[in-house]
């Protein structure tokens, strides 16, 4: 790239950086999700075709947002350079390109369910700053050596301004954020008691019975964690009910408090996958709210909406079951909900995959029929999604080399809400042997298993299968995660080494 081209590319990058910096600064005042980068990121997530989303969840897991952020940064940088390079004669082509993308940013912000028209302001101002900044810098970049020096100084000033504006926006967003409210909040929450002895085989590589909040799996469509202030939080329970309810956070805290250990599971979990965790959730039984509101005949689902516009539908017949544990939770393992797990209030329902039953950053509950379609249903996932009985081998790990002879394999099994009756393991297609189970805490939670094997030297294939408390065995039939959860037996290959 010649010196002139480099300069023009720099003009594109500087104008774009300034635009995004100012947009981020304004978003600090208007609301964190109105930042152009964020609203475009959120729109990209919602518009992404279902297989792309599945790919992102499968391959990047909880890092999927960071990967998207990086990808967007690369695209924006490329466009900014292109805007500069296209503007050989005059600033018009680059200004048009930047203006065009600015307009897309405004449209993205306008389409966000959590943002009103004011939410498009940061993107609008960013677009204007981008276009005018580009034109001005372009004019100033032409000419002779002293002009070049001046350009360097201007460029440094603009870059500095962009960074300062961006940092200012980040600071403002952090201060307005839920994190501060969460620190300040006072909620009576029971300290989780130690799980009963033998509730896990963590020394053998299974997860601990209770998952620490920081290690709890996370799956959601939110590019940045929605920020919900408990002081202004209101929950309406409405639709096909006799009496509409409206609750503040304080109202919720005044209600009888229940704490239950529940194992949450994601429908996107492949056989052997990691999207399963357990916590003590504290909150209010959903059934008590529904009873108070009085569900009208003909109603089918509890349609929940989150602060960022995500929706889910929980079958009312499931929520009406007397033994079903479903909570409006505000506590997790003795702490207020962490921001990433739905602060201040989320749903948790034992026995249903998270996408139909565990709405985070909950703001609205509508009693309705299945005609009302939800975020994931519109993308091809099932209306009803009970958790399928599953088991997983955690030890040995895939292709692990283990000593030949006596070896203890271990893993987990789950069948919420009925619980696990039995886990069996076989080696190299041989006879099934029953594993030893961990102490049962509740049908709502996972159970660990372990079994002592005698492995001759060489390669081996281990398989496991679970049977639930109703006597139903885990099916060997392989099914993909779409539309209502993967099935099949988990198997692991390992190599036993050395003499027995």
Binding site for Mo ion (CB under 5 A): 219, 266, 354-355
Distance CA 435, CA 392 (A): 13
355 binds ligand MTE (CB under 6 A): yes
- In sequence order, the β-bridge partners of residue 368 are 301
SS3 195: coil
Residue 449 near which of Mo ion, ligand MTE, none (CB within 5-8 Å, type-dependent): none
Q: 3-class DSSP state for residue 398?
A: coil
Q: Is residue 223 within the footprint of ligand MTE (CB under 6 A)? A: no
Minimum distance, C-beta of residue 337 to Mo ion, in the bound complex (Å) = 17
Spatial CA neighbour of 264 closest among 323, 311, 210, 187: 210
Indicate whether 178 belongs to the interface with ligand MTE (CB under 6 A).
no
Beta bridge partners of 189: none
Give min distance, CB of 310 to ligand MTE, in A: 4
Q: For 89-127, give the DSSP string.
A: SSSHHHHHHHHHHHHHHHHHHHH-TT--GGGGHHHHHHH
At 18, is the secondary structure helix, strand, or coil? helix
Q: Summarize the chain as % helix, strand, coil (round to 5).
A: 40, 25, 35
Residue whose Cβ sits closest to ligand MTE:
354
Minimum distance between the CB of residue 388 and Mo ion, rounded to whole angstroms? 13
Question: Measured from the CB of residue 112, what is the shortest distance to Mo ion in angstroms?
Answer: 22
Smaller CB separation from Mo ion, 39 or 277 = 277
Q: Does 266 bind ligand MTE (CB under 6 A)?
A: yes
Task: Name which of 355 and 489 has its Cβ closer to Mo ion.
Answer: 355
Q: 424 vs 252, 437, 460, CA distance in Å? A: 44, 10, 16
Q: What is the smallest separation between the CB atom of 382 and ligand MTE, expressed in angstroms?
A: 13
Closest CA to 416 of 313, 307, 268, 262: 262
Is 496 near ligand MTE (CB under 6 A)? Answer: no
Q: Is 374 in the site for ligand MTE (CB under 6 A)?
A: no
> Helical H runs in 144-274?
145-176, 178-184, 249-254
List 360, 388, 450, 465, residue binding ligand MTE (CB under 6 A): 360
Interface pick for ligand MTE out of 264, 286, 367, 451 (rule CB under 6 A): 264
**Residue from 46, 220, 424, 463 in contact with ligand MTE (CB under 6 A):** 220
Query: Cβ 376 to ligand MTE, closest distance in Å?
Result: 7
Count, residues near ligand MTE per rule CB under 6 A: 18
Q: Does 217 bind ligand MTE (CB under 6 A)?
A: yes
Which two structure tokens, joined as six digits, stand for 294? 């009085």
Cα distance between residue 154 and residue 136, in whole Å: 11
Pick out residues in 314-343 that bind ligand MTE (CB under 6 A).
341
Q: Which of residues 277-316 bind ligand MTE (CB under 6 A)?
A: 306, 310
- Shortest distance, CB of residue 319 to ligand MTE, whole angstroms? 16
DSSP for 228-259, written as a single string: --TTT-EEEEEESBSS-EEEEHHHHHHSPPEE
Least Å distance, CB 256 to ligand MTE, is 24
Q: What tokens appear for 306 in the block?
A: 């989150």
Separation of CA 435 from chain center: 34
Q: Which residues bind ligand MTE (CB under 6 A)?
A: 216-222, 264, 266, 306, 310, 341, 354-355, 358-361
């Amino acid at each position: 790239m010649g010196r002139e081209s480099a300069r023009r590319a720099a003009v594109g990058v500087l104008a774009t950086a300034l635009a995004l910096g100012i947009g981020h600064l304004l978003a600090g005042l208007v609301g964190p999700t109105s930042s152009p980068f964020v609203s475009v990121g959120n729109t990209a997530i919602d518009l992404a075709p279902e297989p792309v989303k599945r790919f992102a969840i499968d391959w990047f897991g909880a890092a999927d947002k960071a990967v998207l952020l990086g990808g967007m940064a690369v695209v924006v940088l490329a466009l900014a350079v292109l805007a500069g390079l296209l503007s050989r004669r005059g600033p018009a082509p680059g200004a048009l390109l930047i203006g065009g993308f600015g307009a897309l940013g405004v449209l993205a912000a306008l389409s966000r369910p959590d943002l009103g028209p004011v939410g498009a302001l940061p993107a609008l101002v960013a677009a204007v700053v981008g276009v005018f900044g580009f034109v001005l810098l372009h004019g100033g970049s032409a000419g002779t050596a002293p002009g070049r020096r001046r350009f360097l100084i201007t460029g440094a000033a603009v870059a500095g301004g962009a960074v300062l504006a961006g940092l200012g926006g980040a600071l403002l967003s952090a201060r307005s954020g839920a994190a501060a409210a969460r620190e300040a909040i006072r909620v009576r929450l029971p300290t989780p008691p130690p799980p009963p002895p033998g509730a896990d085989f963590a020394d053998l590589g299974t997860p601990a019975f209770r998952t620490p909040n920081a290690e709890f799996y996370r799956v959601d469509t939110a590019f940045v964690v929605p920020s919900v202030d408990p002081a202004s939080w209101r929950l309406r329970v409405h639709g096909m009910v006799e009496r509409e309810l409206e609750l503040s956070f304080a109202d919720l805290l005044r209600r009888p408090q229940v704490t239950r250990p529940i194992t949450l599971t994601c429908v996107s979990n492949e056989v052997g996958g990691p999207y399963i965790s357990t916590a003590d959730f504290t909150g209010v039984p959903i059934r008590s709210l529904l009873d108070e509101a009085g569900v009208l005949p003909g109603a089918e689902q509890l349609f929940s909406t989150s602060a960022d516009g995500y929706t889910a539908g929980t079958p009312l017949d499931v929520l009406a079951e007397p033994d079903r544990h479903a909570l409006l939770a505000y506590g997790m393992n003795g702490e207020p909900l962490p921001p990433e797990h739905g602060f201040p209030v989320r749903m948790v329902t034992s026995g249903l995959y998270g996408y139909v039953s565990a709405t985070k950053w909950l703001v609205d509950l509508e009693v309705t029929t299945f005609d009302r379609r939800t975020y994931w249903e519109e993308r091809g996932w099932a209306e009803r999604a009970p958790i399928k009985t599953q088991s997983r081998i955690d030890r040995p790990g895939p292709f692990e080399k283990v000593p030949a002879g006596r070896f203890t394999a271990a893993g987990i099994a789950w069948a919420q809400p009925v619980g696990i009756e039995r886990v069996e393991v076989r080696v190299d297609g041989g006879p099934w042997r029953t594993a030893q189970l961990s102490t049962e805490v509740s049908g709502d939670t996972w159970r660990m298993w372990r079994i002592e094997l005698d492995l001759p030297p060489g390669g081996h294939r281990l398989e496991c299968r679970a049977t639930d408390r109703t006597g139903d065995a885990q099916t060997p039939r392989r099914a993909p995660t779409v539309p209502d959860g993967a099935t099949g037996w988990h198997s692991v290959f390992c190599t036993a080494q050395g003499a027995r």
